[in-house]
Amino acid sequence: MPRLETVAFDSLIVRLFDRIDEAHMPWVLAAVDSIRDALGELALEVVPSYTTVLVQIDIKQLALPEARARLSQALMGLEPRDGEAGTLHEIPVWYDVSVGPELPLVAERLGTDINEVIQRHTARDYSVFALGFAPGYGFMGLIEEAMATPRLKTPRQKVAAGSVGIADRQTAIYPAPSPGGWNLLGRTAVKLFDRQREGYTLFRPGDRVRFVAIDREAFMAQGGDTTPQPGVGSERPNGEGRS
């Protein structure tokens, strides 16, 4: 049974699970539907995440205890979506050490070469668990456990837009230039946030992402920026000393 937790004077968290798993996303999305059906416009924000849904209530029209009671009733007997899945996005990525300076580091952790890292990163589809950090930034996973790599000990001051990285068992794309400490593997020319797009963002929670390796020429033809990423990939991630 989902647990309801008060997190602010106008907000509740619906806690569905205690661990992250791709198989949980249909339940999370089913909870979103039930919440919206139960509260309608009285729910100012309904924000799904890995294992929870945040609900902000219009407390001028609905007291929080009453909202809690409505949600408890709506979530009884919750069932996951049957046969439904989010949009599958194929994202072309140029994997190269000039734009993915941590490729050698991840290869070293795996005891293999860069080509194997690329093959394994593109070998599965990833669920979009949540949006955050920056507009259009989707937290995706789960990458295979053997590839899990901690964040860099010292984050970069600027990561190029379109950079594809991994951290622990998650993967993501930086929508715009920003600071960041994820291990960079490559870069895409796909625009994740666009004010001209309906809804602005390419990804939604519950969508799936498949990375497709392309060469430099194809990346440039798509409008990709080949400017090398400043900083080298020799720095060890958090928790790892230098040899």
Residues with Cβ within 8 Å of 125's Cβ and at least 6 positions away in sequence, in order, are: 88, 208, 209, 210
pLDDT of residue 239: 40
Going from N- to C-terminal start, the domains of the chain cover: 3-74, 88-221
Q: How many contiguous H segments (helices) and E segments (strands) does the chain have?
A: 5, 13
**Which listed CATH number (2.40.100.10, 2.60.40.10, 2.120.10.30, 2.60.120.1360) goes with 88-221?**
2.40.100.10
pLDDT of residue 86 exceeding 90: no
The model's pTM: 0.86
pLDDT of residue 242: 27
* Fold observed for domain 3-74: Gyrase A; domain 2 (3.30.1360)
pLDDT of residue 83: 56
Long-range contacts of 63-66 (CB under 8 A, 24+ apart): 64/6, 64/9, 64/10, 64/12
pLDDT of residue 82: 65
Distance in angstroms (rounded) separating the CA atoms of residues 224 and 153 = 28
pLDDT digits over 101-157, tens only? 999 999 999 999 999 999 999 999 999 999 988 899 999 999 999 999 999 999 999
pLDDT of residue 234 exceeding 60: no
CA 192 to chain centre: 12
pLDDT of residue 233 exceeding 70: no
